Amino acid sequence: MNVGGWIYVNEQNSGTRGLILVRTGTSTFKAYDRNAPHICPASDTTLEVKDDIKIVCPKDGAEWILLMGQPTKVSQVSPKTYFTYYDAASNVLTIRN
């Protein structure tokens, strides 16, 4: 994955609704929970990446900057993040709660 690239992670026990994994640098990553942080969970509150630059809540249009998680519209709360550790020598990324 290139810097600025992202993927959805939907493995078992990956956040409450899966994760958005973003490569923010050559050896740095951010992992966001896909559950909207500012409203009660519902079928339409799973966060999505739009235009490769922002995270959006389909229910109310809240937006966050993909690379930083900073809220820009509707919400004042950032998405939940998970600790990431990348070992470049082994090319292994660890994500922890």
Rounded to a whole number of angstroms, the CA Rg of the chain reads 13
Distances (CA, A) of 50 to 26, 53, 71: 22, 6, 14
Q: How far is CA 11 from the centre of its chain?
A: 14
For the domain made up of 6-96, give the CATH fold.
Rieske Iron-sulfur Protein (2.102.10)
Following CA atoms 94, 22, 10, 32 in sequence, which dihedral angle do they give, to the nearest 10 degrees?
A: 90
Contact, 83 vs 96, CB < 8 A?
yes
What's the chain's length in residues?
A: 97
What is the arithmetic mean of pLDDT over 66-87? 97
pLDDT in tens, 33-70: 999 999 988 889 999 999 999 999 999 999 999 999 99
Work out the percent of the chain whose per-residue pLDDT is above 70.
Answer: 100
Q: What is the mean pLDDT of residues 19-43?
A: 95
Each domain of the chain, given as residue ranges in start order, spans: 6-96
